[in-house]
Chain A
């Protein structure tokens, strides 16, 4: 089963019911359970850590405000992430607190070693080692910056799939779109991301 299971388990159902009754201890448990995952997804969609923290906080406030009206038609997991993703997309649309940087200037900032490593990862037959990528901060920065250059809806679908490891059905539920739209959007998103990444060493 995926880490972000769609099926609401019994413990979580009890927790949600307790939250509905106003049990703040249950709310604390719910926040602790999801805070890292929601923050991680938001940060990948909105790379400014201060904004990501504020958006995560706002997400939980909205979740707790709206939990009384949570009807259970979708899973709590996708419902919570829908709030997080919508808040983040709206925030970026409004352009609040966004750090806008020149793409050219960004490109020139990357060091040669990271560019070469990226080129090897994308062109060589061997698969990149995740640990090697994670340890190279400069390479991580290139990938995050490349993600941020995607269209908001494309970025959301790629982050939910490749970082949060959601199924297509869950992504459709979070973004409130058809399953076929998820497939086409993900296909375009990966294609665009590859082009952006390759632009760094061409």
Chain B
């Protein structure tokens, strides 16, 4: 009986490839000389094959979700009293969900701020009038004090930038700008050149003069197809581009009393324009959903005070340090 059992186990080991070489040789010899053992081996092989031939079943598609749900349930309700609250995995899952909720709240807050800044009443917008702020700044910290205390620094950090204006009324606009420069008595006007059909005006003047010029240019702003202010970052050798810029925004950037503040203001406007490009809300949702966002054209700069010519007022009359601004007027075709 014991011997038979051993032969059975040896035969099973043989078909399972679990025997040593010596044992295999012994079994092969037995098979050759004993037909009964050979028959027994074949039966074992067939039985093994039948079981091995059963089709492989796949787990349900939602197994992963079911395990997750089970883990969550145990974490939240302490099911089965197994102390799974301590499990980091479930905590991690909970943390991810909280993070997702926080991200959604943050996104809503940002969008709300942007929408509020657009639809806010005029009285509220007035409070953030850059020129008013600048006036306050000057009162609090007069220009001469800045230059007296750190004249060299201020001079080194003077505004330098480029204003690129594209217009379909090139001739009229170009003539207007030339005349406005002369009318404002910008003595530091270094002249204009025509390069590749573009007019290039290089100005180095006080902020007050430049603000006066911008005030005049407000009248022709609706005739620009686009207006982009490039602010030089001396320390990084790069430029910040503020698209869809208006005279007031230019004045606000230039009017900042330090290099850092100018860069911050320019970046703020650039970021606002980028967010603006995603409005209205469905574009944002499309971006979130991974769908291709709709193409939005940044609106033309608008005349903030209506179609009438703006009278120069005290809000433009600010004193200031020297600034360097290059105005480039680029002709474009209508509808471009």
Contacts and interface: CB of A to CB of B under 8 A. Distances in A.
Interface in B17-74: 18, 42-60, 63-64, 66-67, 70-71, 74
A24 B92 contact: yes
B91 interface: yes
A163 B50 CA distance: 10
Interface in B116-147: none
Contacts of B13: 168, 183
A197 B56 CA distance: 20
A134 B55 contact: yes
A61 B71 contact: yes
B82 interface: yes
A31 B63 contact: yes
Given A22-B89, A39-B59, A39-B63, A197 B16 contact: no
B230 interface: no
A28 interface: yes
Contacts of A65: 82, 84, 87
Contact of B45 (A39, A57, A127, A131): A127
B60 A53 contact: yes
A168 B18 contact: yes
B292 interface: no
B47 A57 contact: no
Contacts of B87: 22, 64-65, 68
Interface residues of A, number: 59
Interface residues of B, number: 42
Interface string A44-62: 1000000011001110110
Contacts of A161: 16
Interface stretch (A75-83, A92-100, A103-111, A187-195): A187-195
A184 B252 CA distance: 90
Contact of A61 (B18, B58, B67): B67
Contacts of B9: 183-184, 186-187
A127 B49 contact: yes
A24 B54 CA distance: 34
B18 A122 contact: no
Residue picked from B44, B51, B93, most chain A C-beta under 10 Å: B51
Contacts of B276: none
A101 B266 CA distance: 80
A130 interface: yes
Nearest to B86: A68
A163 B52 contact: yes
Contacts of A15: none
Nearest to A29: B64
Given A168-B16, A183-B12, A183-B13, A36 B59 contact: yes
Contacts of B59: 35-36, 38-40, 53, 56
A158 interface: yes
B324 to A, nearest CB: 53
Nearest to B39: A125
B89 A19 contact: yes
Contacts of B175: none
B149 interface: no
B71 A64 contact: yes
B53 A134 contact: yes
Counting from the closest, the 3 A-B pairs by CB-CB distance are A22-B88, A130-B53, A133-B53
17 contacts: A20-B88, A24-B93, A28-B64, A35-B63, A36-B58, A36-B59, A40-B57, A53-B59, A56-B59, A122-B43, A122-B46, A143-B54, A165-B52, A186-B16, A187-B8, A190-B47, A194-B43
